[in-house]
Amino acid sequence: MKLQRIEQLSHMLAGKRVVLANGCFDILHVGHLRYLEAARRMGDVLVVAINSDKSVRMIKDAGRPIMNEDERVALVSALACVDYVVLFDEPDVNRILDVLRPSIHAKGADYTEETVPERQKVLAYGGNVRIAGDPKDHSTRDIIRKILESAQE
């Protein structure tokens, strides 16, 4: 099973080059896949932190998440590039960074290395921030909009 508690992972992965990627992954799309595949190539192990339903409701539009956390965990866990998945209830991954202290915190192309919100925390413990994936041409919000528009035609 790829779903783990973050505290267990920190002991299991000692000595490995751990990459942490995170997101809601509400409607899994090709942009998510490319982000996670690129992040996996950066280290020995890819841990994906997924926002819980509670966390998604704090940071996204009304009506989100579309898919519940169990479904999102199942889909992301099924990807060959993903080694472990953790769920988090907070609006950001700061607690996970504190516990796991990954070598690399990978974010998608909607950020730059300078704009990653957790950048200072990662640099402070000696980690690196990297951008992974293709240009931000895909989003769950756009997919939802297309579905709603086509339903009204």
CA distance 73 to 114: 29
Contact 104, 42 (CB under 8 A): yes
- Which of left, alpha, beta for 79 (phi over 0: left; psi -120 to 50: alpha)? beta
Those residues with Cβ within 8 angstroms of residue 96's Cβ, 6 or more apart along the chain or in another chain: 6, 20, 22, 49, 86, 88
Q: What percent of the chain has pLDDT over 90?
A: 69
Residue 1: pLDDT over 70: no
**Alpha-carbon distance 143 to 104, whole Å?**
29
pLDDT of 125 > 60? The answer is yes
Q: What is the mean pLDDT of residues 81-91?
A: 95
Confidence of residue 5 (pLDDT cuts 50, 70, 90): confident
What's the whole-model pTM score? 0.89
Q: How far apart are CA 82 and CA 146, in angstroms?
A: 28
Arithmetic mean of pLDDT, 19-31: 93
pLDDT value, residue 141: 74
